[in-house]
Structure 1
């Protein structure tokens, strides 16, 4: 392992973090030769977690991107085994031309397989297929004492449940075996429907559940009424005509501006224009999978637009029963604050349980928003949202969190004590130390 010092940030660029020792991994067969100068370590993939779940201030990071090899791929059954540092983008490049696709994908493909497992990511099809962990067949876990486990639902099953959604704390995942899903081509047949209230969103979501594999909504959080755009789609069947070539050129935010480019004025203007971007109430189209699943991946380093102080993402899930009232309260607080998010996403989760003990998704409505970091003003707003979500029986997503109170975490993740027994004694994170205080 190559060892160096460095400051590795999370995607939200908040909180600030000091020096961390970086251990670059390249050999999955090697033992974890961790320097005695480092008392605690944490796996670090591609740094796409938003808060402090991927940070280890004053400790070490096991950088896994060097574990980037494909081990086996059965093109007939769609079973793929690869090392934990492989990006979802690299998997798609390999399998889509061969008629396969990821069973679950988050909103960016620049995530490692190990990171997707550790945070048990979810996607637009949660209501039908559950989380990423539901499609993991097995993986290898390497502990700091040198012990290795091959984990599956039937072998070392407790380690399997603790590690999926386990935030990288149970040890180092070296490889993952995943069941892919069959597709006919790289195209998505979809619809976009304008809605004018949260109640209308809920009706659209219920109606689409039986017809569409993928559903998600953009919501205008600057308008307390809960208006937005409902997007749904399916993998397209075999097409008789060739689709046009898709440009894979990406734009890049070239530098970090001195202040956030997202303000109350730009937010309201953008949201009003985006809400009215289509003339009809309902449109249909066949699109390539990249803009459908990964619209933000077309703008590289987009997190820079929030300036040097970064941003905080707030993602919650609230129960279906009474959930719309809770969301109305949340949106009301945001609108009254004059703050808000241009990247506000609303979805209804299904009731398929994850094998992971600390997995975030559960039946209910989930809302995700990005807030420019204005210091105490932003933190106070998020604390007000916490009160609404917590009182209503909801919870927050650790992979997106940078400031949740420990008692809130322990109240909403009731398996935390059971999980704690499986934490590797030499593994820790800023997030874990914060919520265990």
Structure 2
């Protein structure tokens, strides 16, 4: 047995871990279900943990094929997104959609239907998936596309691994002419200004860091980062002859679990003030490398230790456009009043998406981390209630403590998802700590 958790290190489960290296080994593991597939463990809670059988899929890690005419790459589920970038960026290709870390597997990207800073323009990862191979509870493999086995295809995108084991996928990359990002930094004095920037900008990529402790006329003060892939002729002459070459930065590691007293309203307030001041100094256009723009936290190894040995929980919701300003104001007021919060709190504008069970919808998504303690868990219950009051829903890839009642109140699609799982024995064959907690 292995002590296993998600990236938040909460909750921790004693789990039987199996490490298949081929399709046959996955099929053998299903005989003693239920099981759940797990990639690199970067979902934050217990969505990829099953005490009776967790399938570590990282052994199925081959890149299989690439079609330069369509940009479709075929890969096994355990291939890391960072390996895709390493292989194809030098050839002029980049993921069409990427979350805030490249340290995830392709199977995890499909199961969570991850979204990125360009959701408003390009949708979630699933929009760019051409096909997936899914193994059912009997060991049969189904090739699913938007046209063939389309219902299983739809439910698997964002289905958190609960529809079957994702073995392989074909997904589209986007052509780029350099490894650099043309960024524009826009400071915003408060939430109203930040939302105005989002609503008036047509940038492909947009994301905001915000001060989670700001109050009054500084409520939601932010640094909004707008960006595009830089064209080769936008690069300085010194970089044009090697447009995809980006010097590798040294990695740093958090050496130990931070003591609980290190994260308090005073350290948070000081950090937020310094971060906003430093970002405001860099206002305007600049050229940054792809790794720094998309994956700043990947440079700090084991950064989850910052929140202490008890771990942390992330709160992430999306609020519909019609109620977003009122709902975000209420959420930020509650967070600021509590004195708790996150060093890196994030706001994004999402676009229209109709999905069977994926997280995004048109509106604004708010994400921030809290160290696990009684006060923060009580605060997150309050944030759940505010989200429900404003018609929002929650991201299961980041969840570690929602109740089933709250999930059902937020998302009427749960009933259909649960009914689908009951069919063909999926609920018996595939289950996670999260699905058991939420009763889905």
Q: Give the TM interval when normalised to the shorter protein.
A: over 0.9
Answering whether residue 318 of structure 2 is matched by residue 317 of structure 1, we say: yes
Q: Does the 8 A contact of 2:353 with 2:360 survive in 1?
A: no
Given that residues 42 and 54 in structure 1 are in contact (C-alpha distance below 8 angstroms), is that contact kept between their aligned partners in structure 2? Answer: yes
Tell me the secondary structure at the aligned position of residue 381 of structure 1. helix
2:144 aligned residue: 151
Q: How many angstroms apart in 1 are the aligned matches of 2:264 and 2:298?
A: 22
SS of 1:86's partner is coil
Quick one: structure 1 residues 178 and 153, their matched pair in 2 at CA, closer, same or farther if it must change by over 3 Å? same
**Structure 1 stretches of at least 4 aligned residues deviating more than 4 Å after TM superposition:** none
Asked if 2 retains the 8 angstrom alpha-carbon contact of 1:122 and 1:131, the reply is: yes
Instruction: Using the TM superposition, give the Cα deviation of residue 53 of structure 1 relative to its aligned residue in structure 2, in angstroms.
Output: 1.2
List aligned pairs for 1:233-272, cutoff 5 A: 233-239=227-233, 241-243=237-239, 245-259=246-260, 261-272=262-273
Deviations 1:415-434, CA, capped at 9 Å, x for gaps: 22322244322110111111
Partner of 2:22: 27
> Take 1:195 and 1:283, find their aligned partners in 2: how far apart are those partners?
12
The residue correspondences of 1:189-204 to structure 2 (distance < 5 A) are 189-204=182-197
1:34 CA displacement: 2.3
Pair 1:128-2:121 in alignment? yes
1:245 and 1:163 mapped to 2: Cα distance?
Answer: 35
Structure 1 residue ranges without an equivalent (≥5): none
| Partners of 2:82 and 2:103 within 8 A in 1 | yes
Q: CA deviation at 1:54?
A: 1.6
* Secondary structure class of the residue paired with 1:380: helix
Distance 1:245 1:114, change over 3 A: closer
Structure 1 residues 10-48: Cα deviation after superposition (integer angstroms, max 9, x where no partner): 10011122x211110111355521276x54210010000
Deviations 1:267-309 (A, max 9, x none): 1110000011045483211111000000000101100111110
Query: 2:87 is matched with which residue?
Result: 94
Q: Tell me which residue corresponds to 1:404.
A: 402
Across the aligned residues of Structure 1 and Structure 2, the Cα RMSD in angstroms comes to: 1.6
Match of residue 232 from structure 1: 226
2:5 matched residue in structure 1: 9
* Aligned with residue 163 of structure 1, among 156, 159, 164: 156
2:242 — aligned with what?
A: none
Residues 371-410 of structure 1: CA deviation (Å, up to 9, x unaligned): 1112x21111011111111011001111111111212212
The answer to whether structure 1 residue 432 and structure 2 residue 427 are counterparts is: no
Aligned residues: 425
User: Distance in 1 between the 2:220 and 2:258 partners?
Assistant: 31
Q: TM-score with structure 2 length normalisation? A: 0.93
The answer for the alignment partner of 2:205 in structure 1 is 214
For 1:229 and 1:162, the matched residues in 2 are separated by 36
How far does residue 264 in structure 1 lie from its aligned partner after superposition?
1.8
* Contact 2:179–2:246 (8 Å) recurs in 1: no
State how far apart, in whole Å, the 2-side matches of 1:202 and 1:231 are.
12
Residues 88-145 of structure 1 show CA distances to partners (whole Å, capped at 9, x for unaligned) of 0000001100000000000000000000110110000000010000100001001121
Superposition deviation, residue 238 in structure 1: 1.4
In structure 2, how many angstroms separate the alpha carbons of the residues matched to 1:247 and 1:281? 22
Q: Tell me the equivalent position of 1:361.
A: 360
Contact kept? 2:63, 2:75, Cα under 8 Å? yes
Measured after TM superposition, the shift of residue 169 of structure 1 is 0.7
After superposition, the Cα gap between the structure-2 partners of 1:28 and 1:249, relative to the gap in structure 1 and judged at 3 Å, is farther
- Contact 2:81 2:106 (8 Å CA) reproduced: yes
Residue 65 in 1 paired to residue 65 in 2?
no
- Measured in 1, the distance between the counterparts of 2:418 and 2:163 equals 9
Distance (whole Å) between structure 1 residues aligned to residue 225 and residue 104 of structure 2 = 23
Which of the two has greater helix per residue?
2
Instruction: Please give the secondary structure, in 2, of the residue aligned with 1:242.
Output: helix
Q: Is the Cα–Cα contact under 8 Å of residues 133 and 142 in structure 2 kept in the other structure? A: yes
Conserved 8 A contact 1:260-1:372: no
- Distance, in Å, in 1 between the alignment partners of 2:417 and 2:39 is 22
CA contact (8 A) 1:130 1:353 kept: no
Contact 1:75/1:98 (CA < 8 Å) preserved in 2? no
Q: CA deviation at 1:253?
A: 1.2
